[in-house]
A and B are shown apart, each in its own frame.
Chain A
Amino acid sequence: MDLVSSLALGFSVALDPVNILYCFIGVLLGTLVGVLPGIGPTATIAMLLPITFTLGPATALIMLAGIYYGAQYGGSTTAILINLPGESSSAVTAIDGYQMARQGRAGQALATAAIGSFFAGSVATLLLAFFAPPLARAALNFGAPEYFSLIVLGLLVSIALAHGSILKALAMIVLGLLLGMVGQDIYTGTPRFTFGVRELFGGLNFVAVAVGVFGIAEILRNLENETEREVGVKKVTNLWLTREDFGRIWAPILRGTGLGSVLGILPGGGHILSSFASYSAEKRLSKNPQEFGKGAIEGVAGPESANNAAAQTSFIPLMTLGIPAHPVMALMVGAFILQGITPGPNVINEQPALFWGIIASMWIGNLLLIILNLPLIGLWVKMLSIPYRVLFPAIVLFACIGTYSINQNIYDVYAIAFFAMVGYLLIRFGCEPAPLLLGFVLGPLLEEHLRRAMIISRGDPMIFVTRPISATLLLLALAAVLVAVLPAIRRKRQEVFVEDD
């Protein structure tokens, strides 16, 4: 199948006026939540999932994808202007971006971030278009044992990349897996952990879990210590880069794109890791490393390109294997399922218009983002002055109404409160919420494939190591855990994530 005709099909879908409109709404909302600290793409996508019901599958997914990569753009704006990363992945951008802003070069920093992001996003989308089809073809040969091992790999790698204690991350995954088992058993129909409540037979609503753990728990966290943000830069002037600036940023952008594209595929915080990796690489390669931390433009260009490239390539595992790389992708799985499509290797053949449409829409989205972010920067600066005390009641309301409107099920709303409390406690005690959500989404899949594999092998667990692909995947998973617990890497990890809290 040639790439050109596939992409032509994709663009015919993505250039449909309705889809352009929703792509625009997606990137607009994404930029907005990226700019506003206290609400991230995970909670936003969870809250907006119900809204996408009425849309067609392609339109819905184009919009949700737009929110995700739009948030990567918006996050950098906040990082540069007020030294507060709107998204964790732009924490690094704040280091030099904010210094540039203080020296009156906010415009150049924003322009660099936008150009880097646009370039990286476009290249990474092309990579996605190149590598997704062969991967999907390979995945078609996967049976239950391979899928089981793949899920194990995904879960364990996400720990290796998570910050904080590995034990806690493991426990969060297992807790997520268990929560995913609430509801009727797939083979026997036995209701499990439902307390006899009929509404729970279909399982816990994952929108409720995501909104509770990521949205409401975060609000409680912010109420601990209420401070208003200060916008240091009121007006942004002069977005033009000089010839000298261009000379300094092109190489970091290229390197950042490469790093981000590779790391983005990894489960867990690939986009966060990639921006940190790019920053340290640029600092090491620079002729004047002492400038870093004092407003080096390379320190903005590299990480911004890296996190945007990673945001795009993290769609690869989702679109080809149906395995989400991180919580936002887990929600995308939910979006696929709500639309009646099982994400996985079959999507590309059974729904080529959807598959290529989403990919093509990413180019359009990236283009819309650069238009939205550069000329309209003044608008976003204004947005920054919305006080949090107005914002969070809106988040609570949207969470409740949105979740309730999915199934008109009040137990879903009770679940929000429950998971908000559990999530808040666990976050407060130093546990990361992301592995929990990954476990929750992958739990039913893990159990299904494990049980199916065991039926195939007549109860012999050796099936996972005698099949070559499955064995390789498990070995990789083991390697990921070993790498994470090795002392040298542990120290490095702490260094990398230390500024991310």
Chain B
Amino acid sequence: MALNASRDDLAAGAIFVAFGSFFALEAMKYEFGTPFRMGPGFMPILLGGILVALGIAVAAKGFGKPETGSGPAWPWRGIVLVLGTILFFAATIRGLGFVPVVLTTALVTALSSRRNSWLAALVIALGLTMLCYLIFVVGLGMIVPLFGPWLSF
């Protein structure tokens, strides 16, 4: 692109502006109060405004900076698989129980690295499931069903 600006700075600025405006707009719904007795909305509106301003400033400073190349490639496979398994873990830990969830999480996470073959991932997953079972369930007495209610027939 012929944009004479640091894309990193623009992106970072945009994230800050997005967060700042979210917090400030959402806080409009709460009581603002007075400086003497600040309401729940006072600080978030103030800080949200500051964050928007800082975000704009970050982006503005990015203009005129030479583009330093596009950086390393996005690790899409890692992002999707790692974050996906964390969401999967949260969604199913209660229903499926410890063993199936931990096993699946470990297997899929291991596969997010291109360097792991299926066999290696399976070995890693089995080993880690055992390890986590020993540490958290046996060692620390974590209360969690090994096989959850979704799996009882």
A455 within 8 A of B: yes
B140 CB within 8 Å of chain A: yes
For A181, the closest partner residue in chain B by CB is B44
* Interface hits, B8-59 → A, CB 8 Å: 8-9, 11-12, 15-16, 19-20, 23, 26-27, 30-31, 34-40, 42-44, 47-48, 50-51, 54-55, 57-58
Closest CB of chain A to B143's CB: distance in Å?
A: 8
Name the B residues within 8 Å of A192 (CB-CB): 26-27, 30, 40, 44
Q: Is B134 an interface residue (CB 8 A)?
A: no
* Of the residues A219, A404, A429, A458, contact of B78 by C-beta under 8 Å: A219
B82 near A420 with CB under 8 A, answer yes
Q: Are A413 and B27 in contact (CB under 8 A)?
A: no
> Which partner residue on chain B sits nearest A188 by CB separation?
B40
Which residues in A have their C-beta under 8 angstroms from that of B90?
A: 400, 404, 410-411, 413-414, 417
Q: Can you name the residue of chain B whose Cβ is closest to the Cβ of A225? A: B72
Query: Does A416 have its Cβ within 8 Å of any Cβ on chain B?
Result: yes
A51 contacts B by Cβ under 8 Å: yes
Give A447 to B45 CA distance when docked, in angstroms: 12
Is A220 a contact partner of B93 (Cβ separation < 8 A)?
Answer: no
Report B-chain residues with C-beta under 8 Å of the C-beta of A171: 12, 16, 51, 54-55, 58
Given A171-B58, A390-B124, also A413-B89 (CB < 8 A): yes
A223 within 8 A of B: yes
Residue pair B43, A223 in contact (C-beta under 8 Å): no
Q: Cα distance A171–B77 when bound, in Å?
A: 30
How many Å from the CB of A332 to the closest CB on chain B? 21
Mind listing 7 A-B residue pairs with CB under 8 Å? A167-B58, A168-B58, A178-B20, A181-B23, A188-B39, A392-B113, A401-B132
With A401-B132, A429-B15 in contact, is A396–B85 under 8 Å at CB? yes
CB neighbours of B15 from chain A (8 A): 422, 425-426, 429
A56 CB to nearest B CB, Å:
15
Q: A425's contact among B11, B39, B110, by CB below 8 Å, is which?
A: B11
For the complex, what is the distance from the CA of A388 to the CA of B110, rounded to whole Å? 10
B54 CB contacts on chain A under 8 angstroms: 167, 170-171, 174
* Cβ–Cβ < 8 Å partners of A428 in chain B: 8, 71
Query: Is B128's CB under 8 angstroms from A393's CB?
Result: yes
Residue of A with least CB distance to B125: A393
| B119: Cβ under 8 A from any A Cβ | no
| 17 more CB-based (< 8 A) A-B contacts, given A181-B23, A397-B128, A421-B79 | A167-B54, A174-B47, A192-B26, A192-B27, A224-B72, A224-B75, A226-B115, A393-B106, A396-B105, A397-B132, A401-B136, A404-B89, A408-B144, A413-B93, A429-B12, A450-B38, A450-B43
Which residues of B are interface residues toward A (Cβ below 8 A)?
8-9, 11-12, 15-16, 19-20, 23, 26-27, 30-31, 34-40, 42-44, 47-48, 50-51, 54-55, 57-58, 61, 71-75, 77-79, 82-83, 85-87, 89-91, 93-94, 102, 105-106, 109-110, 112-116, 120, 124-125, 128, 131-132, 136, 140-144
Query: Which chain B residues lie closer than 8 Å to A219 at the CB level?
Result: 78, 82
A residues 371-403 near B (Cβ < 8 Å) are: 387-390, 392-394, 396-402
Between A175, A396, A397, A404, the greatest number of chain B beta carbons within 10 A of the residue's beta carbon is seen for A397
A202 within 8 A of B: no
Q: Are A223 and B78 in contact (CB under 8 A)?
A: yes
Question: A165-B58, A405-B136, A422-B15 given as contacts; is B106 within 8 A of A190 (CB)?
Answer: no
Contact among B9, B40, B44, B89 for A187, CB-based, below 8 A: B40
Determine whether the beta carbon of B48 is less than 8 Å from that of A178: yes
Q: How large is the interface on A (under 10, 10 to 19, 20 to 34, 35 or more residues)?
A: 35 or more
Chain B residues near A455 (CB-CB < 8 A): 36-37
For B94, the chain A residues whose CB sits under 8 A away are 410
CB distance from A204 to the nearest CB of B (A): 13
A428-B74 Cα distance, complex, nearest whole Å? 10
Identify which of A54, A177, A429, A450 contacts B9 (C-beta below 8 A): A429
Instruction: Choose one: A410, A420, A431, A447; the contact of B12 (CB below 8 Å).
Output: A431
In the bound complex, what is the Cα–Cα distance between A451 and B110 (angstroms)?
A: 48
Is A220 in contact with B79, judged by CB distance below 8 angstroms? yes
Instruction: State whether A417 touches B72 (Cβ < 8 A).
Output: no
The answer to whether B78 touches A447, judged by C-beta atoms less than 8 angstroms apart, is no
Q: Is A316 an interface residue (CB 8 A)?
A: no
| Centre residue among A165, A399, A401, A422 by max chain B CB count within 10 A | A401
Q: How far is the CB of A106 from chain B (nearest CB, A)?
A: 28
Q: Which of A185, A420, A429, A458 contacts B86 (CB 8 A)?
A: A420
Q: Which of B11, B36, B38 has the most CB of A within 10 A?
A: B38
Contacts A171-B55, A174-B54; is A193 near B128 (CB within 8 Å)? no
- B109: contacting residue among A388, A392, A414, A425, CB under 8 A: A392
Contact B114 A226 (CB under 8 A): yes
Residues on A with beta carbons closer than 8 Å to the beta carbon of B75: 220, 223-224
| Residue among B43, B116, B144 making CB contact with A447, cutoff 8 Å | B43
Q: Is A216 interfacial (CB 8 A cutoff)?
A: yes
Question: Known interface pairs A220-B78, A454-B36, A459-B34. Does A396 touch B115 (Cβ–Cβ under 8 Å)?
Answer: no
- State the Cβ distance, A15 to closest chain B Cβ, in Å: 25
CA distance A399 to B90 in the complex (A): 12
Compute how far the CA of A430 lies from the CA of B11 in the bound complex, rounded to whole angstroms. Answer: 10
Would A178 and B36 be within 8 Å (CB), given that A224-B72, A389-B113 are in contact? Answer: no
Instruction: Give Cα A398–Cα B106 distance, bound, in whole angstroms.
Output: 10
Please name the residue on chain B nearest to A219 by beta carbon.
B82
Roughly how many angstroms separate A12 CA and B116 CA in the complex, as a whole number?
49
Q: How far is the CA of A398 from the CA of B125 in the complex (A)?
A: 13
Q: How far is the CB of B148 from chain A (nearest CB, A)?
A: 13
B contact residues around A413 at 8 Å (CB):
86, 89-90, 93
